[in-house]
Structure formats: C-alpha cells, structure tokens
Amino acid sequence: MTLPSSGSPQERASFVSRNAWAPYVLITLTVMIFAGGYIVGRAVHEIFPPAGLTFWRHLLAVLVLLPFVYRQVHQQAPLALRHWKLMLIIGVTSSVTGSSLLYLALHTTTAINVGLINAIQPAFIMVIAWLLLRDPISMRQGIGIGIGFAGVAVIISRGTIEQLVALDFVIGDMWFLMSLASFALYAVLIKRVPRGFSALGLLQSINVASLIVLLPVYAAELLFTDQRAAFNLATVSTVLYTGIIVSILAIICLNTSIKHIGPGRAGAFFYLMPVFTAILAVALLGESLQLYHFIGMVLVLAGVNLVSRTPRRAHGHGA
C-alpha cells in the first residue's frame, strides 16, 4: 500500500522528500520495529495468550486511528460492505491465522528462530501467488525456493538429521510456518482489494474486519482455556507497542519509504530482519545463536536472493 498524496507540491515536499537518506532510515526503523514485535511476543508468552494479545492490539489500533480516518472510512464504507467477504478473509489471514499463530508459536520456539524463518516470506508469497493466481515461477526461482526451504529445514531441525527424519520439531516452528503461509496469502489477497480505498482507510477497514473475526476466537480462549492476561505494566506496554508502534507507526514508515524508494529497494531491507531479531533476542532475552542458525540463515538468504532477483535485460545493465 502507498500513502495517498494530498496538498500542494510545496506541502508534499516534506522532510523525507528533501532528504535522500530519510526513506532508508524509515525502512530500517520499520524492520527494527517488526523485529521488536517478535521479541515482545516472546517476552510475554507466559502472561499474554495469543488471541487476547491480537485482539487488544487491533482494538487499540482502531481506536487510535479513528479520529484521523473517520471521514475516509465513512466514505469508503459502501465499498467495504460490497466486498465484505474479501475483507473478512483478509482479516482472518492477518489476525487469526496470522498474528495469533505467530504469538502462539512464540510460546514454544525462540525469537531467533522466528526471525530467521521469517526470511523465507518472499518465497511463501511466490508459492501462494502461483497456487491462487497462477503467477509463473521460473526455474531459477524454483531453485531459490528449494534452497530457502532447505535453510528453514536446517533451522527447525536444529541442524540434526535425526530430528529431521523423525519429524521431531518444536511445535512453535510449525505454528510459525503456518503463520507465514497465512501472511503470504494476505499479501496475495491485498492485490484483489478494489481501487477506491485510501491507504489508511484500508488499514482501518482491515483492523475492523480483524476484530470481527477475532471476537469468537478470543471468546473461546477465555471460555475454554485458563489463559488470562492480567492488567499490569507488562501487558499494557505490550498492547501499546504492538497496537501503536507495530500496527500503525511501522506501517506508516513502511508506506512512506515505499513511496519514495519503491517496493524493490524497500523490500530488500527485510533481509535485515534475522539480524535485528538475533541481536535483540540475544541482548534482551538471553537467547543464544548456534551454528545451525548461521547455516540455515545463509541458505534462506541465498534462496530468497534467487527468488527476488530481477532478471537482467538482454541489452542493458539490469535492475
């Protein structure tokens, strides 16, 4: 998504426009914030159940955005209602099978594992796009997908053939792979959103749809499990960080950077996600990096590089 332009050319000549380095700072900040979200999710996994955290995160985002996007949402409500099935499906992939499974994964796996496995996301998106939209996959990209998933296999098997053969994995890694597949489906479905939505209006509509589909899941979590989140500094801080910093600030930074440097350059910065997650996990959570982490990360990044590389033009220098 890109932010809508408004105002005169002079008004659009913002600080970011006047400083060539600013978009790169914003996209780096975005990746750091997302990595911080993994750290926070892992840090509070014993005190904040997954559906509850996802629900309160989206609720806070809706409330914070409402004063700024009320008119946009009001104007775009008929469009959202006409496509309510699509909006609800996007809400499910974003929240129920996306964020909730992510937080569930962090109950049993490490933030380092999540950050490293997350690097396979471009390959996941490509596979989902091929399955649903029949977007072609070249031989080079197919090889890259295979190498990337081999790297994921190294990470989730902890580098041992015995665990790989016995399928003796940490369940959190499996939950996170399902979460990644859901986010990949979300990315593909976003392409089907009709024109007419503003960037923030669409974000608010997705947050509202997420709340609707999350409500029964959160109710079931409260009724059928003994998981409860106490009202204290840790839980409130978690909701504030994930609801405002991750769900709003990071998205605005991401959209602004994409607007100025394009999706290709901005997307490349997400290769920093494993690095930031590992640094924060070691520093703040006391997690440790093992040799298999490095082997898996090399394979994943090599595979994603093959998947994402733009082919060179026959009579030019390429992109």
At 109-162, the pLDDT tens digits run 999 889 888 888 877 888 888 888 777 888 888 888 888 888 888 888 777 776
The CA distance from 234 to 250, in Å, is 21
Instruction: State how far Cα 90 lies from the chain centre.
Output: 13
Number of helical (H) and strand (E) elements in the chain, helices listed first:
16, 0
DSSP 282-298: IIII-----HHHHHHHH
The answer to whether 194 and 79 have CB atoms below 8 angstroms apart is yes
pTM for the full model?
0.83
Confidence of residue 10 (pLDDT cuts 50, 70, 90): very low
Range with the poorest average pLDDT among 11-25, 41-55, 249-263: 11-25
Q: Is the pLDDT of residue 8 over 60?
A: no
The DSSP annotation for 100-111 comes to HHHHHHTTTS-H
CA distance 59 to 64: 9
Q: Which residues contact 81 (CB under 8 A, 6 or more apart)?
A: none
Q: How far apart are CA 64 and CA 58, in angstroms?
A: 10
Per the structure block, which two tokens stand in for 52? 């509850």
Tokens of 319: 């992109």
pLDDT level of residue 301 (50, 70, 90 thresholds): confident
Amino acid residing at 39: I
Where in the chain are the domains?
Answer: 20-127+171-286
Tokens 């597949």 — which residue?
A: 181
Q: Tell me which amino acid residue 273 is.
A: M
Q: What is the DSSP letter of 244?
A: I
pLDDT per position as a tens digit, 61-96: 999 999 999 999 999 999 999 999 999 999 999 999
What percentage of the chain carries pLDDT values higher than 90?
Answer: 43
Stretch 278-286: mean pLDDT: 92
3-state helix, strand, coil in the chain (%, to 5): 80, 0, 20
